[in-house]
Chain A
Amino acid sequence: MRTHKLCMLGDFGVGKTSLVARFVRSTFSAKYLTTVGVKVDSKEVALPGREPLKLVVWDIAGRGALDGVGENYLRGASALLLVADGTREASLASALNLLMQSRRSLPNAVVALAVNKLDLVDRWEVAPATLAELRNTLPVFETSALSGDGVEAAFADLAARLAP
């Protein structure tokens, strides 16, 4: 089975670990526990009409993902899932900034953006028009690690684009 490395990138507290937990184990914990270093998980993804593939998901600590150490974590990745928190507009800028930086070492990685915490949409700072604009550049998914909305779709989109 083909295996691809996928890195989660985004500011701290946006829900990267929660998205991975939802995707890999279908679990959710509301408690925020900051990630130090990296946690590696994997999951097979079924693709309609094609061979399934295995995603090895690197849940990299928020921020500092691209200081010297972070570059090490990114090497060899073929997919990036940028994560922003809809309730913190600044985290969207962080995610896009991380994308620009990672493009230097990963020019060919497939990329998607997950704007997380859709369950708190009433408190979102990110405007729908902003995401409509971003969609011209990259696939955008509104996700909720709590409810699971959009999570499978975001990973599936990356997997589909990794498949030959």
Chain B
Amino acid sequence: MTPMPALPSAVEDYLRDTLMRRAHPLLLSFGDDWQLRELHGDPAVYGLDAEHGLRELQDLFIGLPLDGHQDLPFVEFSNGRSAHVHLIADAPGFHVLLLDAEEERERQRAQQQLGHDAVLTGHEQSKAIGRLTEIRNELERQRASLEEANALKNALIATLSHEFRTPLTSIFGYLHLLERRLDGSGNAAQALQAVRRNATYLFTLAENLLEYGRGESGAALLNPVEVDLTLLARDLDAMFRPLAEDKGVAFRVDLLVEETAPPVFDEVRLRQIVVNLLSNAVRYTTKGEIACDLVWRDGRLSIDVADSGIGISAEFRDSVFKPFNRGGQSGSKGAGLGLSIVRRLIEQMRGELRLESELGRGTRFRVELPPLARAAAKSAASHAAPFPRGVQALVVDDDPDIAQLLEVLLIDLGFEVRVAENASQAIAEATRQPPDVLLIDVELPGLSGNAAVFQLRSHGYRGRIVTLSATSTGDARDASLRAGADHYLTKPLNLDQFVGVMQRALQGEASGQNPDADRRG
């Protein structure tokens, strides 16, 4: 193999000039103790001034042996310029050679930036898509629960309307009777007209109130009390006898009590059941008899309401219990709600309802109700038990008015309260002396309430955390719960709800276990 001939000197010169111009080589030759012996090139290219330049170079080789070659590519110097840095051992000293890498660095950076941006954007996109999917699902859930709430609200309003209408119906019934007996003349008749007017006004007011109260809905709890059955029987007789007799229908209420202790029921609902059944009977009976038998025996109350009215054909026996359906008992007034409410109430009270009917001959409803356990009353009472004294609470809110309000409320409930006004203070205070309950505003200046909650949880704080926020979205609530809060309350505070949440917090219930508990917050 023939040796490669030397390049023509003109080419060599050209190459050297070009490379020198591009590489801006800077060579610094040192003795073994960083004593600078020789310098080739311009240190200013890399921002290495006489004062700090040597120190900057020394920093690069901290912890590295100076008696072997070292190669540090793409080192950015304080003036922003990038160089490949080589240490070349040359006992007893060494050389440091810097070659300009700025162009190459920028090229690499541009490529790398594109790649990294794409990855980061992709990550953000997939998260955004995930969030959108969650939002869509949440909207779907909310839509379903709104529909449910709406249906419930309608049913509740219907129930309430009916509850108001039943006694008013009775009032109007008596009025009618009295008016007939008085033949529409004299002072007494005027008085009755006044009663009628005012009853009508009351009816209107009740309807207005119901309209006003449409925003509120929810299932009421049963309220167990001892029921005086004799009084109930007497009231039923007084309410319905005139209505029945007015139509020429015989009416009787019989009571048989074989137990020594009075039964325990939700009296309002019990009355509602019988009143509705009797209203129904009076409405659909024009001859014969209406009989109501109440029997308190063997630990069960049975209610038997029989009439000799128009009856219900077999095909309508189920539908009479549906709202707004009079099941073929046509030609009468009323919204057709009574029986649906009766059935709902009996279900609530875990009773049984049977219907026997023959078209044209009459109808008989038999109801069997087990009395409500007294324990239910006790447990309801314990739910509202007072707070234990001396529970430690830490309140964190930058608004002094809110902080003071929370402080006063909690002291009222028997808590011992400390107050902090920002997240850092809260973290320090909760770390120094962990409270049993931490109430923290989410929208704190600086470090957010959620960040503080996250940090406390990640440091092992195990007390209860209630976050308070002016944002009432599901996302905001989820962010808080994800950060480690147990409960999320929205401002302005609903005091009942606040007390409820504090109770649940102390009982150790988290929103995670009871997802709907705070969603209304």
* Interface, chain A (partner B; CB < 8 A): 3-5, 12-13, 32-40, 42, 56, 61-62, 69, 72-73, 75-78, 88, 118-119, 121-124, 127-129, 131-132, 135, 140, 142, 147, 149
- Taken together as a complex, chains A and B put the C-alpha atoms of A132 and B457 apart, in Å, by 7
Q: Which residues of B contact A33 (CB under 8 A)?
A: 109, 113
Show 26 residue pairs from A and B whose CB-CB distance is below 8 angstroms, ordered by the A residue: A5-B63, A12-B119, A32-B117, A33-B113, A36-B74, A36-B109, A37-B74, A38-B75, A38-B76, A40-B56, A40-B60, A40-B75, A76-B64, A77-B63, A118-B455, A119-B448, A121-B451, A122-B448, A122-B450, A128-B458, A128-B484, A129-B457, A132-B457, A132-B458, A149-B446, A149-B451
Given contacts A3-B59, A124-B454, A132-B458, contact A149 B447 (CB under 8 A): yes
Residues from chain B with a CB closer than 8 A to the CB of A4 are: 62
**B interface secondary structure, majority:** helix
Considering the complex of A and B, which 3 residue pairs feature the smallest CB-CB distances, nearest first? A76-B63, A37-B74, A128-B457
Which chain B positions have C-beta within 8 A of A88?
Answer: 123
Structural contact, A36 and B64, CB atoms closer than 8 A? no
Whether the Cβ atoms of B61 and A76 lie closer than 8 Å is yes
Query: CA–CA, A132 to B453, complex, Å?
Result: 13
Complex alpha-carbon distance, A86 and B448, angstroms: 15
Q: How large is the interface on B (under 10, 10 to 19, 20 to 34, 35 or more residues)?
A: 35 or more
By beta carbon, the residue of chain A nearest B450 is A121
Chain B residues with Cβ under 8 A from A129's Cβ?
457-458
User: Contacts of B459 on A, CB cut-off 8 Å?
Assistant: 132, 135
Instruction: Report yes or no: B113 in contact with A34, Cβ–Cβ below 8 A.
Output: yes
| Minimal Cβ-Cβ distance residue in A for B75 | A38
Query: Contacting B59 at CB < 8 Å: which of A12, A56, A62?
Result: A56
The answer on a CB contact under 8 Å between A122 and B479 is yes
Would A56 and B446 be within 8 Å (CB), given that A32-B117, A34-B112 are in contact? Answer: no
Chain A residues, Cβ within 8 Å of B123: 88
In the complex the two chains form, what is the Cα distance from A78 to B73 in whole Å? 21
Which of chain B's residues has its CB closest to A122's CB?
B479
Query: Does B75 lie within 8 Å of A34, measured CB to CB?
Result: no
The yes or no answer to B483 lying at the interface (CB within 8 A) is: yes
19 A-B pairs besides A73-B72, A75-B64, A122-B450 with CB distance below 8 A are A3-B62, A5-B59, A12-B119, A13-B120, A36-B108, A37-B73, A37-B75, A37-B101, A39-B75, A72-B73, A76-B63, A76-B64, A78-B63, A121-B451, A124-B482, A128-B455, A128-B484, A142-B455, A147-B447
Closest to A136 in B: B460
A38 vs B101: C-alpha distance in the bound complex, in angstroms? 12
From B59, B82, B112, B451, contact of A42 by CB (8 A): B59
Is there an interface contact between B72 and A36, defined as CB atoms closer than 8 Å? no
CB distance from A33 to the nearest CB of B (A): 7
Which B residue's beta carbon lies closest to that of A4? B62
B480 to chain A, nearest CB (A): 9
- Is B138 close to A, CB under 8 A? no
Decide: A132 and B59 in contact? CB cutoff 8 A. Answer: no
Nearest A residue to B63 by beta-carbon distance? Answer: A76
B64, B112, B120, B458, most chain A CB atoms within 10 A: B458
The contact string, 1 if C-beta is below 8 Å from chain A, for chain B 112-141, is: 110011011001000100000000000000
Do B451 and A118 touch (CB < 8 A)? yes
In the complex, what's the smallest C-beta–C-beta distance from A133 to chain B, in angstroms? 9
User: With A and B bound together, what is the CA distance between A56 and B58 in angstroms?
Assistant: 10
Bound form: Cα–Cα A76–B70 in Å = 12
- A149 CB contacts on chain B under 8 angstroms: 446-447, 451
Q: Mark B452-477, 1 if CB is under 8 A from A, else 0.
A: 00110111100000000000000000
Cα–Cα distance between A42 and B117 once the two chains are bound (Å) = 28
Report whether A121 and B483 are in contact in the complex, using a CB–CB cutoff of 8 Å: yes
B71 at interface, CB cutoff 8 A: yes
How near does chain B come to A147, taking the closest CB pair, in angstroms?
7
Whether A72 pairs with B72 at a CB distance below 8 angstroms is yes
